[in-house]
Amino acid sequence: MGPTAYVFSRGRVASCVLQVHARRRGLAAPLTSSKSEARRDDYEPKAELAAWERQHGKLIDPSAFEREILPLIQNVPLSRLARASGLSLRYISQIRRGERVPHPRHWAAFRHISAI
């Protein structure tokens, strides 16, 4: 094992030890107790998406986003867009560059944050 791997391994072990101590003191979230809980956590965003699509429909016109919203968010800081939408900074960056079109449920947040 090279020096870099050793340092990484030590850092990872130290991080795990700190997390265990924090959990014992009630300062960190407990670990999930089962795989079913982890699956439920993965399912919740899908359920939210399905509920949105039931209410608004699945019709998506990417050109509407590019025409109406993309120009509004060009000068808004990525961090503000991420906070408003709940999306990652990387995804927000791709959206603002015109590489990706977010799901329409996020469009209202972009409109709102650009008006502030």
Q: Is the pLDDT of residue 2 over 50?
A: no
Residue among 77, 67, 51, 55 at smallest CA distance from 101: 67
Q: How do residues 11-47 score in pLDDT, each as one tens digit?
A: 555 555 666 666 677 665 555 555 555 555 555 667 7
**What are the residue ranges spanned by the domains of the chain?**
1-28, 62-115
Does pTM surpass 0.95?
Answer: no
Query: Which burial class, exposed, middle or buried, applies to 91 when counting CB atoms under 10 A from its CB (0-12, 13-18, 19+)?
Result: middle
- Helices (H) then strands (E): counts for the chain: 7, 0
Structure tokens at 72: 């509004």
C-alpha span between 101 and 91 (Å, rounded): 9
Q: Is the pLDDT of residue 62 over 90?
A: no
**Contact present, 116 and 77 (Cβ < 8 Å):** no
Q: Is the pLDDT of residue 4 over 50?
A: no
**Contact present, 74 and 110 (Cβ < 8 Å):** no
Identify residue 28 by its one-letter amino acid code: A
